[in-house]
Amino acid sequence: MLQKAILAEPHLDADHAPSHSVFGFWLYLMTDCVVFAALFAVFAVVNNQFAGGPTGRDLFEIPGVALETAVLLLSSITYGFAMLGAHKGSKRALLGWLAVTFLLGVGFLTLEMREFSHLIAEGAGPGRSAFLSSFFTLVGTHGLHVTVGLVWMIVLAVQAIRAPELGERELRRLTCLSLFWHFLDIVWIGVFTFVYLASVI
């Protein structure tokens, strides 16, 4: 009888069924955790395999990496402000803070690419040693994720502009990107601590 009553309610049809998008995205993030865990494990195994080349202490400049870290962490805060604007239904606040977050993300990638270019120019490219191969793979994979997040941010900004108002669908998509962006911050804290700091101490 209860099942018949539920089916009889018009507001519980398929169009108003609860979405499982956010739960599914959590599952995706768990698989991404496995990918990064594997890359961290590889780095832990080969981080002393220098093949007679430079070590992390010779190459890494902590002040520059600290600046990268500060920029990325700040972008997580600004994305939080964007979400607050979205929940208030303010497109102006959402788009403004998304623009700031995007610029900070671009700034992070610019600093990272400058670091890569500097290392390669000094002959410390990914083919120099197992240590550098694992370093470029781990940090480069994170940078690729940040790039994907920036493209995703542009897509959501365009969708928000075109939407008559910020509805449940837009908020759900913004929430998924929020999870992704904060996840990248957590991974980068691990990179900064485990790769950079541990290599120079």
Predicted structure pTM score: 0.87
> Going by C-beta distance under 8 Å and a sequence separation of 6 or more, which residues neighbour residue 134?
39, 42, 43, 46, 47
Alpha helices per DSSP H over 88-163:
91-121, 130-162
Question: How do residues 44-97 score in pLDDT, each as one tens digit?
Answer: 999 999 988 899 999 999 999 999 999 999 999 999 999 999 999 999 999 999
pLDDT given for residue 183 in this prediction: 95
- Estimate the share of the chain in helix, then strand, then coil, as percent rounded to the nearest 5: 85, 0, 15
List, for the chain, all residue ranges whose pLDDT scores fall below the cut of 50: 1-18
Q: Where are the domains of the chain?
A: 67-201
Mention the CATH class of domain 67-201: mainly alpha
Q: Would you give the DSSP letter of residue 88? A: T
pLDDT given for residue 17 in this prediction: 43
Cβ count within 10 A of residue 108: 25
pLDDT given for residue 51 in this prediction: 86
